[in-house]
Structure 1
């Protein structure tokens, strides 16, 4: 087959409810060698973050991609996009008109991988555990609208919410709501290390090298009972130090597929080359990149400094220089393809302007040039991150208003340090918990936010977030969602930079790649199998 780029449009998500499999672990082709997926995600356990794969702690796309294969949730996002559908549950739904009481019935005969029965009490235990542990990552905040969890018998679970939350079914599809066995996960402490147990489609055996998870080996769980059709008996995720070594492994046939994070050059070359047995597939994605601020830090505490940066950054120039057609400028934390999106930063600042930025700083009596360090992670969002921050540095320094240095830090150090507030300005990426505007706003603006940011806005927390969640029709939430985006542009606790496409590079004999990733960048290993591609 000629090497080519296959574009899978977002409309594929509209077909998801029709195409979604309703099987169990006995479906699919199975057999053959393991399907091997490469990634540059690094999985480390440290003193600061000893439990990277505990559902009550994990809050990054790499860890979630391990958990989604192993720890079952009541609901699951279907192929592509669309409303979540029952997974460990047989049925779920709101039982009141105010979206404050949500009831689920577990599938009959549900078991953990070790054969223990999964009961409503286990669901209650798992949810209450995540809420009570309040891990430093802030992932528990996804469940913050839960007031109490009630069980009725072994199969009925009822969630009583403290406020209306139309997005709640989505939240039950995220790993923090994963069902764990009380025998494996203590209620009062996180589970250190890389062991994971659950009732999902696979069991996982970690292979550790130099204190890192070098390979995760997934074997089909014979006790799995859910909505997913498992198309292989075995799959592996292999972690690489960089995109180049991952690409070499794909060319040699040591791995079958690679996802994040390929470099822009790799994507371009694979798209342009002909011949060979590797295809590049473009999949609709919702990844964004942004700058975050410790708004209590002396260097950026004055809002005028943050506003001046927002006024100076040239997103078109940044994207063109680093990512080309693989990304688009972003003027809101909410991607353009999500209902409720508003170009709030463009509406507020317009085109980049040195004179406007200078006037902002002069009006606030800020001495220039403002000295800052932009911190970024060297090994989590791809090799192009350094080039991206060099561009940001150049744009700000060329204005004469800033004296910016940049510093790259490995993720295992960067992430805990950011949560402790050690960086004044830092670069981050975001892969949504679920495809809704709420997932691009509430994690950054609500109480117990994902960045542990000191920034708060009473209007957003007490009025706008609850107001938006009352609307089951998400288009009806547009006014409150737009106002939240305008608040971010006004106060600048964050600066959105760009939204990106996502790509899968795969060898010709692997099938199911159309659904290997969904728009939230969730890896769906169960879709993959060996076969003859068309």
Structure 2
């Protein structure tokens, strides 16, 4: 008996009306695209672009909590053990070259992620995938362990389908060409500056409306994004405007702007390198750091109350949320931290490097965290700021003792805040391992009725609060600004990991 069966949505092509005469919608963001190749990136900037240029077998419609078919006619589990998942591919999909998409292309797309094993790639998302088989128009996924969340995972950027004749099986594609079957084609791309998207007239799938051409403008920091918005150069501003600008534009007196506050699962954590040789290798040192962090001060002083203090891995509003860090470390307590370090025989001060990358108020945030950690002379902190791609490589290589990083939900399920963060194949490469957490993660994934997994998610977070491989700092809504003439900004992002540029239009 199938435990999850999703019927196909009738596909309609995107048929742009007088495309050449349409003025592109200018969208600004501070996102960074690590790679145009889906096998080489697992970050929000890259995946936001992928959701427009590539197709996955499944996708999420606005407000949905379960995926629906996109490149697939249907998908379902076979049997009751949640180990075999099958999809039948649509018949009318074509790559930009005109070649028909085959089940073999789908198999190839997943196999190359496993073969390349890029440290910045999406392999951690596919941690339960054992192998993929293609026969006719059917794709069969065999899983190493039962995983009710697998349909969610293949609806993300990790499930992007590429042309097996244009991409190498064992290395990333270089250059700026993209061969996907998504709602848009990439007409031009300048790394770190601009992506020009035009509607794909041959798209078939879950998207049911016409779309406008879009120019995405990438900014190196929120202040420059804010300046471009105020200068009237943008129709839409997404991640991340400066906190003070959000506060000002969200006021009742603000005019000429629509501010959408989507309750997306966006969090920020301070993660620790727990490998031997790091200053944060010992649990007592990490617990002492947890004794010192003042989340309300970060929210008030740095982010102008546009964020909320977070005391667990899973954010408030999502099933499985707890306050385990508040239970163990209810308020900043330098004396408790000192006693903890003294009992462990730790020499003071503890010298650490704290790495971070650009983002909304990251300089101010890091300075405040440094002040908090250095209070009482317990830590001596050296801060290191790097460009996003270099930063990713540095924390993966263990160059920092601690690093601050944002985390955006890949899909609407608490698994996206546990397995990729504290599982044995963590995307953060902290070196943290816990057999009990691994056991609990697998237990949560065996539950097709997700509400029944809440007890295990609570247990995971209690262990994390004890071991402190990372400290949750805050969560926030995702703000999207649009001029009064732009429609669809409320659908741009909603915590499902899909960036719906095709929902934007002009009045």
**Range of TM-score over shorter length:** over 0.9
Which residue is 1:198 aligned to? 180
Which residue is 1:405 aligned to? 382
> Does 2:450 match 1:460?
no
Residues in 2 aligned to 1:481 and 1:275: alpha-carbon distance in whole angstroms:
41
> Does 2:147 match 1:165?
yes
Aligned with 2:282 (options 274, 299, 302): 302
Aligned with 2:411 (options 434, 447, 467): 434
**Range 322-331 or range 495-504, more displaced:** 322-331
Residues in 2 aligned to 1:466 and 1:92: alpha-carbon distance in whole angstroms:
22
> Does 2:71 match 1:88?
yes
Which residue is 1:130 aligned to? 113
Q: How do 1:360-371 residues align onto structure 2 when only pairs under 5 Å count?
A: 360-371=340-351
Q: How do 1:15-34 residues align onto structure 2 when only pairs under 5 Å count?
A: 23-26=12-15, 32-34=22-24
Q: TM (normalized to structure 1)? A: 0.89
> Does 2:87 match 1:111?
no
Task: Give CA-to-partner distance per residue, 1:321-372, whole Å, 9 cap, x none.
Answer: 1123311111111101111112111122222212221221111011222222
Aligned with 1:482 (options 454, 458, 464): 458
Residues in 2 aligned to 1:273 and 1:480: alpha-carbon distance in whole angstroms:
43
Gaps of 5+ in 1: 1-16, 45-51
Aligned with 1:180 (options 159, 162, 167): 162
> Does 2:459 match 1:470?
no
> Do the aligned partners of 2:424 and 2:432 also contact (CA within 8 Å) in 1?
no
Which residue is 2:205 aligned to? 226
Residues in 2 aligned to 1:37 and 1:270: alpha-carbon distance in whole angstroms:
17
Residues in 2 aligned to 1:434 and 1:307: alpha-carbon distance in whole angstroms:
30
Task: Give CA-to-partner distance per residue, 1:458-492, whole Å, 9 cap, x none.
Answer: 1222x111111000111111122111111111111
CA drift of 1:437 comes to 1.1
Residues in 1 aligned to 2:174 and 2:71: alpha-carbon distance in whole angstroms:
25
Task: Give CA-to-partner distance per residue, 1:244-298, whole Å, 9 cap, x none.
Answer: 3323333443221011110101101212374642222211111111111111233
> Do the aligned partners of 2:16 and 2:199 also contact (CA within 8 Å) in 1?
no
SS of the counterpart of 1:394?
A: helix
Residues in 1 aligned to 2:11 and 2:94: alpha-carbon distance in whole angstroms:
17
Residues in 2 aligned to 1:514 and 1:43: alpha-carbon distance in whole angstroms:
23
> Do the aligned partners of 1:25 and 1:220 also contact (CA within 8 Å) in 2?
yes
CA drift of 1:80 comes to 2.5
Which residue is 2:501 aligned to? 525
Task: Give CA-to-partner distance per residue, 1:474-530, whole Å, 9 cap, x none.
Answer: 111112211111111111111110111111111111111110112245321010111
**Range 497-506 or range 393-402, more displaced:** 393-402
Residues in 2 aligned to 1:520 and 1:194: alpha-carbon distance in whole angstroms:
26
1:370/1:248 Cα in 2 relative to 1: closer, same or farther (>3 Å)? closer
1:458/1:28 Cα in 2 relative to 1: closer, same or farther (>3 Å)? farther
> Do the aligned partners of 2:264 and 2:409 also contact (CA within 8 Å) in 1?
no
Gaps of 5+ in 2: 1-5
Which residue is 2:326 aligned to? 346
Task: Give CA-to-partner distance per residue, 1:178-220, whole Å, 9 cap, x none.
Answer: 1100121110111123322211111102332xxx342111111
Aligned with 1:240 (options 219, 229, 238): 219
Q: TM (normalized to structure 2)? A: 0.94
SS of the counterpart of 2:239?
A: coil
1:349/1:250 Cα in 2 relative to 1: closer, same or farther (>3 Å)? closer
Residues in 2 aligned to 1:205 and 1:237: alpha-carbon distance in whole angstroms:
12
Residues in 2 aligned to 1:187 and 1:221: alpha-carbon distance in whole angstroms:
26
Which residue is 1:36 aligned to? 26
> Do the aligned partners of 1:27 and 1:230 also contact (CA within 8 Å) in 2?
no
Which residue is 2:391 aligned to? 414
> Do the aligned partners of 1:281 and 1:503 also contact (CA within 8 Å) in 2?
yes
> Does 2:254 match 1:254?
no
Residues in 2 aligned to 1:298 and 1:514: alpha-carbon distance in whole angstroms:
44
Equivalent residue pairs, number = 498
1:341/1:218 Cα in 2 relative to 1: closer, same or farther (>3 Å)? same
Q: How do 1:243-392 residues align onto structure 2 when only pairs under 5 Å count?
A: 243-272=222-251, 274=253, 276-296=255-275, 297-377=277-357, 379=358, 381-382=359-360, 384-392=361-369
CA drift of 1:396 comes to 1.8
Residues in 1 aligned to 2:426 and 2:450: alpha-carbon distance in whole angstroms:
22
> Do the aligned partners of 2:410 and 2:495 also contact (CA within 8 Å) in 1?
no
1:498/1:304 Cα in 2 relative to 1: closer, same or farther (>3 Å)? same
Which residue is 1:63 aligned to? 46
> Do the aligned partners of 1:21 and 1:228 also contact (CA within 8 Å) in 2?
no
